[in-house]
Structure 1
């Protein structure tokens, strides 16, 4: 399983397009200033697989967020809306469910898949879905 993940997802990915991101960030509880900044940034994501350990690093502007985890095991999510997360592999897609520590916020689902050579990240919370499209970088 780890070899499949490594072959499919590992590498450096650069955001080339986003859909419905503003609405998603609003539902996710992101404040106006941070939301406006986020909408202007072009994030880069680096995914590596080392044995059973998956490492995801996302850099947007001066900020880098990192997560390291094993499939099916709960881990801590840091950042503006910290919480607990579990990532599983379903039909070749990485599915992450994040439960924020702030009980006023709804859980988030992030699904990562490779479609036509792009990494497509579909994010859903409280009935609102956004997509971010990433192109592999050398």
Structure 2
């Protein structure tokens, strides 16, 4: 019983930290090595080229221990809600199962693609000099996306 209380308290602390640091609307201002990452992630050439043209907007909100993330890129909008440390389904270009944790102030997401031929993807979100820096990695290829807070 004590362990459960401790885990719950820890999750609440992480949610408060995440809310203070990441909550808001973020607009993409720059991307590096994105096409190469998408290629290694198994995204076809046409989808890869289309995805690289969009400048997505991410909206992050935290309600209690639940994190809500909405990503709008062009005409497509994806939404997901999850609790830190618990698995959830993701859609998008490469659907799969994901788990997000907060480690040393960074949102770390590990994605296991539904396509068993593809490798794990990691997405690390950090705040650097007031910008949200998203580092995406799969099979030795890394891309970075930079976002500015718009609200």
Could you say which residue in structure 2 is the equivalent of 1:56? Answer: 69
Larger radius of gyration: 2
Give the structure with the larger helix fraction: 2
SS in 2 for 1:16: strand
Q: CA deviation at 1:54?
A: 0.2
1-side partners of 2:86 and 2:53: how far apart? Answer: 33
TM-score by length of 1: 0.98
SS in 1 for 2:119: coil
CA RMSD, 1 decimal: 0.7
Could you say which residue in structure 2 is the equivalent of 1:111? Answer: 124
Give the structure with the larger strand fraction: 1
SS in 2 for 1:7: helix
Runs of 4+ in 1 over 2 A off after TM superposition: none
Cα deviation, 1:41-77, whole Å, max 9, x if unaligned, reads: 1100000000000011100000011111001101111
1-side partners of 2:92 and 2:16: how far apart? Answer: 29
TM-score by length of 2: 0.89
Gaps of 5+ in 1: none
